[in-house]
Structure 1
Amino acid sequence: MKRAVVIGASGQIGRPVVEALTRDGWAVTAASRGGGRDAGWDEGVRTVRLDRADDAALAAVVGDACDLVVDVVAYDAAHARQLTALAGRIGSAVVISSVSVYEDGAGRGFDTQDRPDGFPRYPLPVPETQPTVAAGEESYSTRKAAMERELLAPGGDFPVTVLRPGAVHGPYSPLPRELYFVKRNLDGRERRVLAYRGESRFHSSGARNIAELVRLAAARPGSRVLNACDAEAPTVAGIGAAIDAVMGVETRTTCLDGPPAGSVGLTPWSVPLPVVYDMSAAERELGYRPVVSYAESLPETVGWLTGALRGQDWRERFPLLARACPDLFDYAAEDAWHTA
């Protein structure tokens, strides 16, 4: 039986990756900081605790020979070097990067979006051949770019598939964008405001679809970079309507023609220009077909979020989201805007 190690197995992407590989006949070692086990995993999945910063511990988990390493939590060039140092023991690897590495050819990317005229003007859709930011240590984007360069440097001597997801969604997310609509519905908010006419599109990536790409890449090792997104890129208004349908509510939506008015109209998807990624390379090279659509994935996500919020303040439950978007639920400002 082929042996696979999944690093970061207990997270949002790692859980369905373990499931997908197990169903495909892999003997999986699920490595994570806490060493936890998902209730949906097969009994044959082996779990281990792993401190990613400990090179010797990682080498021990990989062992003398491992057919596949899937790294869900690799972040920078140092993490990439950990893997390339073990290349002689690893048959192939699949590593999760991010679409944040792209820039628009004029120096604009995710790191410049808050500057005047800094939002990137990407082609529609964005192919994997689009320029990327310079590798470095300055930001999440530059660190991911540095990681990719280190991983791909060996070429065919160490087959690595780099996957670039967009706005990842699904249960166990530390940054659940869908909370914006779910919490409003749970709080009985009957109206909402959306910036940019509700037409903002920031391409989503279902965790189960990413896991399917991992499964396919594991079966066809190679050195490549692929976008890892859903089949569709719904508008923010479409996302809100789909979540309303799952929760059985009706919400009146008012749209602003332009940007948010302070916190009013601001959502985790609010972008002035569409951000959509080309999935044709994954279809062509791996035969990729999404296993779930965005709408089909929502009941699981909504159910998980509803349970996660029960009896807890959203800021305490999701501190990463609270730091990134502290004013998501400024109801007083919204009410004042409606009555102005």
Structure 2
Amino acid sequence: MVIGASGQIGRPTVTALARDGWQVTAASRGGGRDAAWDEGVRAVRLDRADDAALAAVVGDGCELLVDIVAYDAAHARQLTSLAGRIGSAVVVSSVSVYDDGAGRNFDTLHEPGGFPAYPVPVPETQPTVTPGESSYSTRKVALEHELLAAAQALPVTVLRPAAVHGPRSPLPRELYFVKRNLDGRRRRVLSYRGVSRYHPSGTRNIAELVRLAAARPGTRVLNACDGEAPTVAEIGAAVDAAMGVETRTTLVDGLPEGCVGQTPWSIPGRVVFDMSAAARELGYRPVVSYADSLPETVGWLTGVLAGRDWRECFPLLARAYPRLFDYAAEDAWFAA
């Protein structure tokens, strides 16, 4: 059973499990199907907030439960209350749980001096923030703690993806380069000299980790990222290549005033995650590289944007980066 099956990660996860021989129940709020799913996949409606509805869908039991939308300790308790009916679980968490050991983490990113000094790469043994209800990160840690405390009753693999990319993303960072190319912008500015690295996690690679963990039930916490962590300049070049365009890039130190040079990857350093544990414990090898995954993402974004305002299409991205496409400010910066 896959909870959150109709979302960005859920769709390729259902596909990967079905191809591996699992009889999959795809549960989502709308109960929809993906065109890539095998006819044997059973799609059902599920309100995740309804404990009784979740128990009813699990029914007499399932060998594997994959929870892609679990968010906090309450969701963990939903799953552990059904431990007697679930063989093992794979639950998606987030790399935002990590702390640098000095109180800096994803919650302090935008505070003065708050950018975390993580090791490169970050292993799963890195300290995490304190569990609680105050933020996305603290809630995800609470989810993990609750699940791991019940590991004897319910073996669980916790996966921690980073910058998730692929079709149907509610926060598609690649839009920064795709929309600029569609708008005919043939020059750009990249802050921090374009060397910022924020490790991406392709949805097909996350699905591969789920597939591998499903075949090897156990209790473990694993980073869930791609095989490489390209710089923001390399990402821009790869998007250009996928779209068949050429762009002149100006690299600047630091972050200019205002929004110029700011991308969804613009950070003053590198945030890269260690994938050796996944390789060692599950035999993980990425099924697709970042660059090779881009044509599908670019095609999807191009279709979504056709004739529409990007803020209407991606309100979450617009709230996070309201001036992502302030071309007037950029033109003024070039003129100066």
Question: 1:1-340, aligned counterparts within 5 Å?
Answer: 5-340=1-336
Runs (5+) with no aligned partner, structure 2: none
2-side partners of 1:207 and 1:105: how far apart? Answer: 29
CA positional deviation for 1:259:
1.6
CA positional deviation for 1:311:
1.3
Contact 1:7 1:31 (8 Å CA) reproduced: yes
2-side partners of 1:214 and 1:64: how far apart? Answer: 23
2-side partners of 1:320 and 1:149: how far apart? Answer: 28
1-side partners of 2:6 and 2:61: how far apart? Answer: 23
Aligned sequence identity (%): 81
1-side partners of 2:206 and 2:244: how far apart? Answer: 28
Instruction: Give deviations 1:20-54, integer Å, cap 9, x for gaps.
Output: 00000000000001111001100111000110000
CA positional deviation for 1:256:
1.2
Contact 1:156 1:222 (8 Å CA) reproduced: no
Equivalent AA in structure 2 for residue 72 of structure 1: I
Q: What is the TM-score when the length of structure 1 is the normalising length?
A: 0.98
* Aligned partner of residue 239 in structure 2, secondary structure: helix
Q: Runs of 4 or more off by more than 3 Å in structure 1?
A: none
2-side partners of 1:32 and 1:65: how far apart? Answer: 18
When structure 1 is superposed on structure 2, of 204-213 and 249-258 the one drifting more is 249-258
Number of aligned residues: 336
CA positional deviation for 1:155:
2.1
Equivalent AA in structure 1 for residue 108 of structure 2: T
2-side partners of 1:63 and 1:146: how far apart? Answer: 27
Q: What is the TM-score when the length of structure 2 is the normalising length?
A: 0.99
CA positional deviation for 1:262:
1.2
Runs (5+) with no aligned partner, structure 1: none
Instruction: Give deviations 1:44-79, integer Å, cap 9, x for gaps.
Output: 110001100000000011111110100000011111
Equivalent AA in structure 2 for residue 308 of structure 1: V
Contact 1:226 1:282 (8 Å CA) reproduced: yes
Equivalent AA in structure 2 for residue 118 of structure 1: G
CA positional deviation for 1:81:
0.6
CA positional deviation for 1:260:
3.6
Equivalent AA in structure 1 for residue 128 of structure 2: T
Instruction: Give deviations 1:252-304, integer Å, cap 9, x for gaps.
Output: 10111112421000000001010000000000000000000000100000000
1-side partners of 2:256 and 2:128: how far apart? Answer: 28
1-side partners of 2:277 and 2:152: how far apart? Answer: 19
CA positional deviation for 1:156:
2.9
* Aligned partner of residue 105 in structure 1, secondary structure: coil
Contact 1:194 1:260 (8 Å CA) reproduced: no
2-side partners of 1:137 and 1:301: how far apart? Answer: 33
